[in-house]
Amino acid sequence: MGYYVNPKNETKEKYLDRVGIRIAVNKVASAMASPEAYGQLPVCLVDTGAFTAAAIAFSKKELEVFMEPDDRPKKFYLVSVTNLLIASDLKLDVIAW
């Protein structure tokens, strides 16, 4: 099971634009290797056609899955763990970076 951003008082798109840092897909892996990413996790906003999902990459393996090419439009954000704990069911003990 994954973890998803679902804020209570705004759309996930608005939430990510407000609290996240938009990052190009080809820069996500290198950004996570930088010290500036400490305390942040990647979030992949995927447009499935019927709805959008904001999946949290809580491990390198999860990020690899999200970065696999497919036909769905995707946007990536770096978001602080604090903000993710507020707007999702993410648990600290599952984070494996």
Q: How confident is the model at residue 97 (pLDDT cuts 50, 70, 90)?
A: confident
Q: Quote the CA–CA distance of 23 and 19 in Å, as a whole number.
A: 13
Q: Which three-class secondary structure state does DSSP give residue 87? A: coil
- pTM of this prediction? 0.93
**What pLDDT digit, counting tens, does each position of 47-74 carry?**
999 999 999 999 999 999 999 989 999 9
Amino acid at 15: Y
The answer, yes or no, to whether residue 1 has pLDDT greater than 70, is no
The answer, yes or no, to whether residue 87 has pLDDT greater than 70, is yes
Domain residue limits, the chain = 12-90
Q: Which three-class secondary structure state does DSSP give residue 63? A: helix
**What pLDDT digit, counting tens, does each position of 18-54 carry?**
999 999 988 998 888 888 888 999 999 999 999 999 9
Q: Which two tokens stand for residue 27?
A: 């820069």
